[in-house]
Each structure stands twice: as C-alpha cells, then as structure tokens.
Structure 1
C-alpha cells in the first residue's frame, strides 16, 4: 500500500472523531469519517475508497463488531484497528472475522500509537 493510506473511521463521539481525523491527516493519512457503524457501512456500499478500517466498538445503530463482520464479508483482507473504552475480555479474538490483521487500542488514544497501529496492520511497519 502506498501513502496516503485511506482510513474509514467509524466513531460516534463527534469531538473524538474530529481530533483523531486531524491527527491522522497531519500524520499523512486520508480520513473518511462516519458517525457510526451504519454510516460507515453506507459509505462503503456507496463505493467509498479506503484501505483500512478504524472503528469504535460501542456505537448506536451498528456496533463495531458487526461493522467489521460485514465489511470483512466483502473484503476478508481488510486491515482493522479497533479503539474502545471497553475492550472485550478475550481481546481481538472476539473480533477476528477473516484472516487480515487487527489491532485493539484502549481509549483514550494518543495519535502516535494509533498511527503505529494503522501502519502495522497495513504492513508498513
């Protein structure tokens, strides 16, 4: 993959989404922001181009776990970074639909580890 990597971000906390998108864009990523999992799914269905999924787990309408499952049903190789204040007890095992890399980060999230996780799942680190 070549930079800028295109990130589809599903985050229902508007302020958090804005701060993360700004930090990622400063780090060289292109960010497409969705207000929740359903909005992210709609963007993907409409043909939005993205290389990676960055998603919260707890969101209204469609949660992160279901979003990952649905997107990976179409794209089993989609790299995913999950950010959550409530990590599942069994970690990424509970979220691992498909064979592509997945990382789990616990909120609050700093930009540097987030950038590193996105690059790692994309195979750039």
Structure 2
C-alpha cells in the first residue's frame, strides 16, 4: 500500500480539529493537528505535509501569517483555508489573489464532504 498523503490541520477549536482529523483519517490520510499557526510552522518544518488546512482566526499566529510563513518555505504548497467569511486583510493582502494559489477557500460551516472535495481538487492539480 502506498504511503498516505500527509495533511497538516491548523485549527484552534478542539472539536473542529478532532472532527476534521477523524474524517481525513477515515479516508486514509495521515493527519497532523496543530492548535495555532506557530505550532503549525514547527510541525511543517519537522514533518512536512503535502497539503495544509488552516483556519484564519487562531491565537499566537493567525492563518494569514501562517500562510505567508509556509509559502516562504514552499511557494507551491496547496492550502485549504476555512473561515467564517473572507474579511479584508489589514495589510491589503487578498487571500483569493494569484500569489496565494494553489488555495481552496471554504466558508464556515464546512461540511466534511467539502473539505474532502477541496483536498482532491488540490491534490489532483485543480481537476474538478
């Protein structure tokens, strides 16, 4: 059996993190959970994931700062961003812009199927 695709989930809400982890693990993904952006950066440095799922609002390091840090190390890293609703970045950095791609933006509440579909699109190179 081939190695499972590694997914890093950065989510500060314990119930949401556990739910996402369970759904992905049942689908055969290898999942690492980080409770904030700083922990996610460290986990990605020590055990790189093929794709990252992140919330935007987290303590210590928010999702936008996490994305910037991850993209400095790996500009093409696929990302799934979950948020209550896309809000303008105070720095004027629109996460839907070209410099943030490949990225799937999911507005909460997010169903497990939408997360799985977003992962498949990113891992298949954008195929519908």
Query: How far is 1:122 from its partner?
Result: 1.5
Provide the TM-score with structure 1 as the length reference: 0.87
Per-residue CA deviation, residues 44-82 of structure 1 (Å, 9 max, x unaligned), is 23x213100100000000000110111000100100000
What's 2:40 paired with? 40
Once the two structures are overlaid, the 10-residue window that deviates more, 9-18 or 96-105, is 96-105
Give secondary structure in 2 for the equivalent of 1:53: strand
Report the Cα distance in structure 1 between the residues aligned to 2:88 and 2:102, rounded to whole angstroms. Answer: 19
What's 1:73 paired with? 72
Alignment of 1:3-82 (within 5 A): 4-45=4-45, 47-82=46-81
Count of paired positions: 121
Report the Cα distance in structure 2 between the residues aligned to 1:37 and 1:4, rounded to whole angstroms. Answer: 23
Larger Rg: 2
Report the Cα distance in structure 2 between the residues aligned to 1:97 and 1:58, rounded to whole angstroms. Answer: 22
1:50/1:15 CA distance change after superposition, 3 Å: same
- Structure 1: give runs of 5+ residues left out of the alignment: none
Provide the TM-score with structure 2 as the length reference: 0.85
CA RMSD in angstroms comes to 2.1
Give secondary structure in 2 for the equivalent of 1:94: coil
Q: Is the 8 A contact 1:12 1:60 kept in 2?
A: yes
- Structure 2: give runs of 5+ residues left out of the alignment: none
